[in-house]
Amino acid sequence: MHYQEALALLKAYHQEHILRFWRELSETEKAHLLGQIAQIDFDNLEKLIALTAKKDESAPAEMTEAPVIRLEERISRDEKMRQTGAEALARGEVAVFLVAGGQGSRLGFEGPKGIFPVTPVKNKSLFQLHAEKIRARATRYGCVIPWYIMTSQSNHDDTIRFFRENRFFGLNPTDVMFFRQEMLPSVDAKGKLILAEKHALFMSPNGHGGSLKALWDSGAVADMKRRGIKYMFYFQVDNVLTKIGDPEFIGYHIDAGAEMSNKVVHKAYPEEKMGVICKIGDRLGVVEYSDMSDEQMHATTEGGALKYWAGSIAIHIINVSFLERENDHGFRLPYHVAHKQIPYVDERGNRVTPVEKNGFKFETFVFDALQHTERILSLEVERAEEFSALKNGSGVDSPATARRDLNLLYARWLEQAGIGVPRDEQGLPAGNIEISPLFADEAEALLLNKERIPSVTYPYYLE
């Protein structure tokens, strides 16, 4: 794109102010700005700007409870479902997909969140922990489990470098594919694009919902089809307890004939910041906690139980055929608007860090796709077994809680195998424990290796 071309385009959409500092820019800076302008879909931008003018449509009108397969119900069915899922894995029909394009701003860690060292004894990174789980699963079922990883502009190169430096943690590099999600520009209260630098627009990733588009645009869906993949296991980078490629979950999904499934846990308390699975009108979907009214948040059933208890933990199975349908007439997830403080350069070229919210970011949410499916399946799981997310630098959902929850998980596995675990007065393991997924990736696998397990002295590591 040339300057004249960009100017004409920007004028047509009343955004020419972003060329204000053109004469001051170096050749590289000019190229950078033109590159960003070329990336923007201005018709879509107009629609996004229109969204910022709408009044906040908070609580959805009709919210009712959604059917969920409860823990009690699972007891008699799990074994059969595991068999069904295991067969699909063994046939090579399952791929795993990690969304790792987020900015991880709450954690306050330089670099991709997946690089964060998290395991209790060996300090393995999130990426390594996930990679070893995938290797373990593939070995068990004698199959290839391709791994698709979505990054974003800001962490793509660092992510790939980390995998290369670590030789893909033993995975075959041809079975690991990286691609970037799209970035969207932000606008101010008047609907004007925001300059973060004289030569750069303020852009942010288009939300995890952007993954459905990026999977398509990058050729990942085509690659899955070539490999005969039917089911894609979707997970987030920061949940250290994710049972990646869980055969039981896959089995329930197949058995229900679902197009997209999700795992839920019982909310710990009504105000817990989790989206809940429910019926919205006549469709099943997830409503974000921020979109629920106080009344909805605390609503109870006749028996006094929490009505909207089913918190989504962002683990899904999505059919490859559904991914195709979701894209073949253009991307159709709705955009959500977030009012934020966005640093900018003012008309004189001074950098400003605002104290008030001054602009809007746009995002899509993957769970909105649930409303486009013909059939979904929701499965309740135990929080202690499957959900502990690394979000904050300290306090709740922090490195300390992630390590604690891993320690507790491994301690339970060992105890189930009949190995004593010394605990402190609070009931926590008295030291750090870690079991490599390559030794055992679930309690059952540990039972099989029972005779190879030494007694516990801290720090305790099994590989």
- Does 227 engage in binding with ligand UTP (CB under 6 A)? no
A 10 A CB-CB count for 38 gives: 11
What's the half-sphere exposure (Cβ side, CA atoms, 13 Å) at 156?
13
Instruction: By CB under 6 A, name the one of 48, 49, 100, 287 that touches ligand UTP.
Output: 100
Residue 125 CB-half CA count within 13 A: 18
CA angle 129, 130, 135 (to 5 degrees): 100
Burial of 420: CB neighbours in 10 Å, binned 0-12, 13-18, 19+:
exposed
Residue matched to tokens 């394009």:
101
Residue of this chain nearest to ligand UTP (CB atom): 102
Dmax over CA atoms of the chain, in Å, equals 74
Torsion of CA 431, 269, 379, 383, to 10 degrees: 0
Residue from 101, 251, 429, 437 touching ligand UTP (CB under 6 A): that is 101
CB of 363 vs ligand UTP, minimal distance in Å: 6
> Is 150 near ligand UTP (CB under 6 A)?
yes
Stretch that binds ligand UTP, among 39-47, 201-209, 222-230, 260-268 (CB under 6 A): 201-209
Instruction: Decide whether 242 or 296 has the Cβ nearer to ligand UTP.
Output: 242
* Tokens (6 digits) for 298: 């605390």
> CB of 382: closest distance to ligand UTP in angstroms?
21
In the complex, minimum distance from the CB of residue 183 to ligand UTP, in angstroms, rounded to a whole number: 9
Which of 94, 99, 118, 417 binds ligand UTP (CB under 6 A)? It is 99
Residue 263 touches ligand UTP, criterion: CB under 6 A = no
Nearer to ligand UTP, 102 or 437 (CB): 102
Say if strands 94-99 and 187-188 run parallel, antiparallel, or are unpaired: unpaired
Question: Binding marks (x or -) toward ligand UTP, 392..431, rule CB under 6 A?
Answer: ----------------------------------------
Instruction: Output the smallest distance, CB 15 to ligand UTP, in A.
Output: 23
**Omega prior to 459 cis, within 30 of 0:** yes
* CB-based contacts of 145, cutoff 8 Å, min separation 6: 89, 94, 95, 96, 134, 137, 138, 175, 245
Q: Does 104 bind ligand UTP (CB under 6 A)?
A: yes
Task: Provide the β-strand partners of residue 280.
Answer: 63, 283
Interface with ligand UTP, residue 110, by CB under 6 A = no
Of 69-77, 102-110, 271-279, 315-323, which segment contacts ligand UTP by CB under 6 A? 102-110
Distance (Å, rounded) from C-alpha 332 to C-alpha 324? 12
105 near ligand UTP (CB under 6 A) = yes
Among 20, 106, 336, 372, binds ligand UTP (CB under 6 A): 106
* Strand partners for 377: 261
Is 102 among the residues that bind ligand UTP (CB under 6 A)? Answer: yes
In terms of Cβ atoms closer than 10 Å to its own Cβ (0-12, 13-18, 19+), residue 289 is: middle
Residue numbers 205-224 binding ligand UTP by CB under 6 A: 205-208, 210
Comparing CB distances to ligand UTP, the nearer of 124 and 307 is: 124
Residues lying near ligand UTP in the complex (CB under 6 A) are found at 99-106, 113, 150, 181, 205-208, 210, 236-238, 391
